[in-house]
């Protein structure tokens, strides 16, 4: 999976004359290291693999057996052959070639990317150590535009690491959260992050990708595809770093995809990492004017697991289970009588009538396509126009793209085509503050629809995060 220069000192290697190592990333499980220069062979070297790499004894069957014991598969065979060829070349030139297997060495580790990742992690570590001392520190995987952070900072938390594979999401996050004193950048693919490089943290958060689990994807394969298996990166971080707690979020389809077996596999993996695990489906309309049911998985490290569950009431909890890891928020069953934020409705987040640019209006052709799909204009207006005194349906990442089938619109009066929600209205629909900026690119408004549709509702994160932190002793 690539070659990088290894800047560290392998376990067991002498401090002096350690040589210049080349890391050959055969798999996500680790890397083979080569050093053709001076120094004693590392004491931690798996002898048989080193012999095979140097071409000493054995045949193809032996090499495959060694790969299997290291957790590698047939696709790594070609890379091993290239590695052996390089060893043979170094033997001819220098008369020796040391080799070893280093488990867990990822291609994006600081040891392999010192020049450009070293300063980034140094900035995160500096932020983690900055005064004043926070109530807790948290790490965001699949951070998106920062919905978890917006919900956890009011509780006294400090983000000490964040990553997301979407470049536009990282730019938007950076625009909103980069401090003047410490510009800690987000990293990309979580699979390349070595957990040992990340600062200490108390809480791990992850809104892992939902495309493999959502009911709106007819080809959803759950854990049967690469995107679905990204949830196990969360397990890797928990297993390696053992934070006090974790909070995960995903779509309700996670519960049922592939007959529910995948959800049980996820819960089993989290428990296997050393955590007590509970889950609930919570509807965000208790906090924002939007019906948005999501699964929240709460994990507390077993040695800290002491809290007792307070049963929830009302329509907010569609389902739930697992262990009693925290006191879940008791959400009122009657939203309209609950008062406060539970009584919010759409008219609070809409721009004043007549103040929205015509660029947000549907064209005549677009509205005609919608009415045809719904079976007439009267039915289309009844089903697809938002009611200011009510809630919106779930805001999806495909809003403004999937307008024929799913998007809801704002009426502009009789005789005029309706309009789309503006990016700012969508942000308000998720509970994002008006100070939140929507990106730096020229097409930022368009791309923000997808980003905010994939986000979490900060108010829900705050409501669930508070008792979770209490259960974890924070």
Determine the structural domain holding residue 432 and report its residue range.
Answer: 346-454
The structure's pTM equals: 0.83
- The pLDDT assigned to 311 comes to 36
Domain presence at residue 191: yes
- The pLDDT assigned to 313 comes to 32
User: Is residue 258 exposed (0-12), middle (13-18) or buried (19+ Cβ within 10 Å)?
Assistant: middle
Same domain, 179 and 305: yes
CA distance 360 to 409: 10
Same domain, 188 and 247: yes
Partnered with residue 321 across adjacent β-strands are 279
Q: How many structural domains are present in the chain?
A: 3
Same domain, 172 and 306: yes
Domain presence at residue 180: yes
Among 188, 110, 113, residue whose Cα is nearest residue 143? 188
Same domain, 165 and 261: yes
CATH number at residue 404: 3.90.120.10
- Candidates 113, 210, 281, 426; catalytic one: 210
Listed residues 73, 99, 127: the one ending a domain: 127
Same domain, 466 and 428: no
What backbone torsions phi and psi does residue 317 show, to the nearest 5 degrees?
-100, 105
Same domain, 387 and 280: no
Domain presence at residue 287: yes
H or E element: which one contains 256?
A: none
CATH number at residue 225: 3.40.50.150
Report the relative pairing of strands 98-103 and 136-141 from DSSP bridges.
unpaired
Same domain, 195 and 333: yes
- The pLDDT assigned to 67 comes to 63
Listed residues 94, 127, 160: the one ending a domain: 127
Whether residue 434 has pLDDT greater than 70:
yes
Domain presence at residue 95: yes
Q: Is 97 a catalytic residue?
A: no
Q: What is the pLDDT of residues 132-188, one digit of tens each?
A: 999 999 999 999 999 999 999 999 999 999 999 999 999 999 999 977 445 688 999
Q: What is the pLDDT of residues 353-381, one digit of tens each?
A: 889 999 899 999 999 999 999 999 899 99
Domain presence at residue 51: yes
Partnered with residue 297 across adjacent β-strands are 248, 279
Same domain, 416 and 393: yes
Band (pLDDT 50/70/90 cuts) for residue 306 is low
Domain presence at residue 42: no
Listed residues 83, 100, 127: the one ending a domain: 127
Same domain, 119 and 159: no
Same domain, 32 and 91: yes
Domain presence at residue 211: yes
Q: What is the pLDDT of residues 31-67, one digit of tens each?
A: 777 664 433 333 334 455 555 555 555 555 666 676 6
Same domain, 410 and 465: no
Same domain, 76 and 222: no
Among 100, 97, 138, residue whose Cα is nearest residue 23? 100
Residue 133 CB contacts under 8 Å (≥ 6 apart), including other chains: none
421: left (phi over 0), alpha (psi -120 to 50) or beta: beta
Highest mean pLDDT: which range of 9-13, 62-66, 85-89, 215-219: 215-219
């Amino acid at each position: 999976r690539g070659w990088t220069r290894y800047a560290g000192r392998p376990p067991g290697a002498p401090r002096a004359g350690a040589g210049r190592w080349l890391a050959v990333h055969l798999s996500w499980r680790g890397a083979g290291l080569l050093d053709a220069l001076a120094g004693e062979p590392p004491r931690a070297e798996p002898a048989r693999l080193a012999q095979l790499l140097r071409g000493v004894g054995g045949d193809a069957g032996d090499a495959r057996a060694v790969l299997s014991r290291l957790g590698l598969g047939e696709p790594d065979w070609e890379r091993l052959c290239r590695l052996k060829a390089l060893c043979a070349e170094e033997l001819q030139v220098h008369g020796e070639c040391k080799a070893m297997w280093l488990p867990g060495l990822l291609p994006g580790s600081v040891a392999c990317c010192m020049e450009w990742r070293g300063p980034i992690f140094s900035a995160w570590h500096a932020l983690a150590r900055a005064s004043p001392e926070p109530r807790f520190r948290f790490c965001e995987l699949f951070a998106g535009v920062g919905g978890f952070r917006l919900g956890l900072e009011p509780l006294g938390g400090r983000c000490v690491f964040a990553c997301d594979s979407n470049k536009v999401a990282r730019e938007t996050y950076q625009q909103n959260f980069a401090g003047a004193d410490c510009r800690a950048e987000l990293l990309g693919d979580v699979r390349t992050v070595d957990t040992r490089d990340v600062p200490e943290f108390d809480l791990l958060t992850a809104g892992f990708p939902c495309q493999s689990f959502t009911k709106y994807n007819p080809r959803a394969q759950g854990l049967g595809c690469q995107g679905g298996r990204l949830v196990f990166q969360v397990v890797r971080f928990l297993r390696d770093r053992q934070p006090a707690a974790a909070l995960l979020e995903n779509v309700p389809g996670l519960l049922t995809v592939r007959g529910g077996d995948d959800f049980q596999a996820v819960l089993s993996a989290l428990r296997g990492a050393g955590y007590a695990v509970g889950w609930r489906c919570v509807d965000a309309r208790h906090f924002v004017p939007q019906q948005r049911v999501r699964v929240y998985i709460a994990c507390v490290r077993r040695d800290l697991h002491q809290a007792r569950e307070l049963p929830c009431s009302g329509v907010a909890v569609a389902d739930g289970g697992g262990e009693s890891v925290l006191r879940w928020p008791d959400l009122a069953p009657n939203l309209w009588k609950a008062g406060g934020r539970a009584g919010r409705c759409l008219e609070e987040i809409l721009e004043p009538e007549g103040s929205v640019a015509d660029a947000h209006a549907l064209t005549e052709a677009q509205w005609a396509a919608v009415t045809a799909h719904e079976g007439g204009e009267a039915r289309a207006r009844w089903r697809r126009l938002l009611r200011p005194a009510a809630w919106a349906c779930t805001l999806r990442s495909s809003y403004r793209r999937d307008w024929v089938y799913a998007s809801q619109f704002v009426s502009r009066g009789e005789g005029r085509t309706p309009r789309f929600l503006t990016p700012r209205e969508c942000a308000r629909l998720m509970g994002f503050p008006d100070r939140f900026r929507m990106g730096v690119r020229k097409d930022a408004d368009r791309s923000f629809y997808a980003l905010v549709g994939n986000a979490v509702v900060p108010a829900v994160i705050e409501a669930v995060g508070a008792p979770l932190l209490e259960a974890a002793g924070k």
